[in-house]
A and B are shown apart, each in its own frame.
Chain A
Amino acid sequence: MNNKTSKKNNRKRVNLEQQTTIVNVHEQLLPSDPSISLKVPSLTESKSRMSFQSIRLWFRLFIVNDLATILVLFIWLIINISLFIGQFFTYHQSRSYFYLRALISDGLSIARASALCLNFNCFLILLPVCRNLLSLIRYILPRCITQSRFRRFAIRLFDQHIGFHRCIGYAICFWSLLHVGAHIYNYERLIDVRNEYLTLPAVLSLLYLQSSDSEINPFDRINSNTLSVGAMLSTTPGITGVILCICLIMIFSSSTSLIRRSFYEIFWFAHHLFIIFFICIIIHGFQGLIKSQTNLNQHNPDICASLYREWGINQQCLIYPRFTGSSATSWIWLLVPLVLYTLERILRFIRSLQRVEIINIIRHESNVIQIRFRTKFMITPQPGQYIYLKCFSIAKFEWHPFTVTSAPEEDYVSVHIRTIGNWTKELGEKFLMYPQDIPRLGVDGPYGSPADDVFNYDGVILVGAGIGVTPYAAILKHIRSSQANHVRLRRVYFYWICNTTSCYEWFAEMLQQLEHDLRDRPNFLTYNIYLTQWSMGQARAVVNNNTDERDIWTGLESKTHYGRPNFDVDFQAIINENWEMTEKRDIGVFVCGPEPIVKQLQRLCIKINDHKSSTNKVQFYLNKENF
């Protein structure tokens, strides 16, 4: 009897002698095997369990993540298609274009409809790249939208502005293809009419003999020996069209991801061909080659088209048709975005001229330089924003982005630069002579959306993986500096997942400082540092120094864990922890890192929210930050 009760007791407590740990977890949350790579569970889920539960999970994921973007893209697509169809049928059924349609049939409608869509998309394409305009909207938006859920949707939309720019670029390429194809057909057809005799198109092409007002075919007077190419190149839309095609092909070919990532200068300079592109678009419609009929009441095409041999003779068709060219409308569409973009570039240029006062340059291990500077006219960067740096003595036209690592309460702005690329290595060499030889720097910014949401929650889980850990320097410093002002935040859990020990040693110094500063508030800040790859030598060092008070890699009191974090277990422990609160806790989860981690955390948050919603104890909100 005694043996049985003692065995029962043993099973419930942690049993250290057997070297296993038993943790209280809710069974539904524990994944089958945490050592399987992060991608596999989703596959097994979708293949074996297409149950109602998993469909609902996928749907919730989709709404939480992508709904705003998909909605905006859908609306934009609908506008495009309706513009095309509307303009197509306008030209298809219009009586004033009857005779032109007799010459070139529906090539006219397709070309004009795709031209309208091109105008619309060229109007839109410059707007997502006006960074200062977007910063202005991001600044005004929280004052207009007060409910934080819609604010989060809207802010996330602005974070994807480059994605929208690319979609609109693809649309421009597609409509250009349609437009150029239709106009090639039109050109060839208009020139080819000279081979016909006594048909309606032939009669129309001879109308110039009647009066100069009655010309409809721009190629009615060309020599039969000239090449059609030559005839096309003598018209304004022809030659601007060829230049536009070439510019578009060059812009498209230099914007592929290989060129953008590896040879950024080619991308940047080739993309500036858009200036020629826009100028040519404005000039493109000036000649007014597309003719519409003006005297419809005097000469009715419905009656007179079949009587084309008797124009001027038959009583109904005495008067010849008169035509006028359609006016150019592209400049109306393009005026506002061009003005906004020009203002944007002027603003960036003026900002680059302001004096940057470098306060200090600190060198950290593993090739990291910290630059602290101050400028007079820059807005204080909020945590999570980034700035652009330019060094005049290295390259006059290159701006490089860096995340800001200083909190807004400090009186300087600091960035940590890792010297791995050519530009950063040269910058490191230029700073060797500090403080004698200070190179001249230009600063532009701050851009990006600030992570000021941290204070709206009761607890915050910050997950930074790999290179995504840089903005958390600023966020953690910000939390430390302003903890007195914001009483709602009670717990901060910081996860730092890294695969080497050496890359972010500057960050470890900062974490030690924070640990020291917050030692009077126990349980406020918890570090969980995970090292995901190690060599045998490192493993031996860990085992030898296992009983040290501080960790050997980071020097913090909380020891480094090895392997990947098990978020299911951790989240469950956070839920079970006693926070001395009675009402429902709002916990914000901030992730910055590669996609698999974000997806895993998203599924987990939705699963927990679903499960716990009945008991109403805790609600998790995931914020995916792409800094």
Chain B
Amino acid sequence: MATTTTATATATAAIKTVFSTSTIEWAMWANEHVLLTGYVLGIFSILTIIFHFPLWQIAIYGLLLALFIIIIEYPRSGRIVKKSKARPLQKYPSLLLTKLGPLTRNYFIRFVVYILLSLPCLFLISTIAPAISLIIGAGAYGLAALFQEQWIPVEPKTTDNTVPMPTRPPPREPLYRAPSNA
């Protein structure tokens, strides 16, 4: 326990010297990065399946992995400091993610799972670049787990209906008290 805490402390200190002035939530960038990797992986897997290159069966796995990544990563997590803007149509996968509970809330699980799942994709020319960038995204999630961040579902915006809009314009004085008034 002592070694892990000192490792956490040194890692935190190292990052704090570079990014010293703000509180960075690594999970937000990791989310964007892994989602983009999911899209790229999907495109290149489809390309490989169309052309039936050797070992194209890995591309089927790649496509399924891409769909999995997109569903898990599409809902944007809520933020600690500010309110985060939800992506369009986010609430359906978000429902699924809240049901899964600690599996999706904890970023360390995502770190481990993404690294393991990306290994088969390293063996195909078309998917090796997305696979490496997925490993980098998983590393960012690992950093997020180091800072004990969590995935929080975003509530939809409730419009404040307590004060109705005025129906009449406010009274205005005549604007120009210049001498040349008619």
Contacts and interface: CB of A to CB of B under 8 A. Distances in A.
A242 B171 contact: no
Given A394-B21, A426-B21, A184 B133 contact: no
B51 A395 contact: no
A555 interface: no
Contact of B33 (A250, A528, A563): A250
Nearest to A107: B51
Contact of A185 (B51, B76, B133, B173): B51
Interface stretch (A56-64, A118-126, A251-259, A299-307): A251-259
B126 interface: yes
A37 B169 CA distance: 11
Interface residues of A, number: 58
Interface in B113-127: 122-126
Interface stretch (A197-205, A314-322, A336-344, A569-577): A569-577
A229 B167 contact: no
B94 interface: no
Contacts of A562: 170
A423 interface: yes
Nearest to A184: B126
Interface stretch (B4-12, B37-45, B62-70, B103-111): B37-45
A227 B58 CA distance: 13
Contacts of B169: 33-35, 563, 566
Contact of B128 (A177, A242, A395, A423): A242
Contact of A398 (B21, B23, B51, B178): B21
Given A35-B165, A263-B22, A250 B133 contact: yes
Nearest to A20: B171
A262 interface: yes
B128 to A, nearest CB: 6
B95 interface: no
Interface string B74-96: 00100100101100000000000
Contacts of A395: 20-21
B47 interface: yes
A23 to B, nearest CB: 6
Nearest to A423: B21
B182 interface: yes
A11 B82 CA distance: 55
B132 interface: yes
A265 B22 CA distance: 9
Contacts of B176: 573, 577
A523 B178 contact: yes
Interface in A553-610: 561-563, 566, 569-570, 573, 577-578
B151 to A, nearest CB: 16
A262 B21 contact: no
A227 B53 CA distance: 12
Interface in A157-185: 177, 180-181, 184-185
Contacts of B76: 258
A23 B174 CA distance: 7
A222 to B, nearest CB: 13
Interface string B10-39: 000000001111111100110011011100
B50 to A, nearest CB: 10
Interface in B145-182: 165-176, 178, 180, 182
Contact of B168 (A35, A191, A232, A394): A35
Contacts of A185: 47, 51
A561 B172 contact: yes
Contacts of B24: 263, 265-266
A192 to B, nearest CB: 6
Contacts of A561: 172-173
A24 B180 CA distance: 14
Contacts of B49: none
A9 interface: no
Nearest to A195: B54
B72 interface: no
Interface residues of B, number: 55
B71 interface: no
Nearest to B122: A229
A229 B55 CA distance: 11
A422 B172 contact: no
A202 B37 CA distance: 36
Contacts of A573: 175-176
A188 interface: yes
B123 A227 contact: yes
B60 interface: no
Nearest to B48: A184
A14 B85 CA distance: 50
A264 B29 CA distance: 11
> Which of B24, B125, B168 has the largest number of chain A CB atoms within 10 A?
B125
A421 B22 CA distance: 9
A577 B178 contact: yes
A570 B175 contact: yes
A246 interface: yes
Nearest to B182: A24
B82 A563 contact: no
A21 B133 contact: no
A21 B172 contact: yes
Contacts of A14: 174
Contact of A249 (B19, B36, B168): B36
A246 B28 CA distance: 19
B171 A21 contact: yes
> Which of A19, A24, A246, A249 has the largest number of chain B CB atoms within 10 A?
A249
Nearest to B76: A258
A254 B29 contact: yes
B59 to A, nearest CB: 11
Contacts of A184: 44, 47-48, 125-126
A21 B54 CA distance: 83
Nearest to A561: B172
9 contacts: A181-B44, A188-B125, A192-B53, A249-B133, A253-B36, A262-B28, A570-B175, A577-B180, A578-B178
Given A229-B123, A262-B28, A577-B178, 11 more contacts: A23-B174, A23-B175, A37-B165, A187-B125, A229-B125, A249-B133, A250-B33, A259-B32, A266-B19, A398-B21, A423-B21
Interface of A: 14, 19, 21, 23-24, 33-35, 37, 177, 180-181, 184-185, 187-188, 191-192, 227-229, 232, 241-242, 245-246, 249-250, 252-254, 256, 258-259, 262-266, 269, 394-395, 398, 421-423, 426, 523, 528, 561-563, 566, 569-570, 573, 577-578
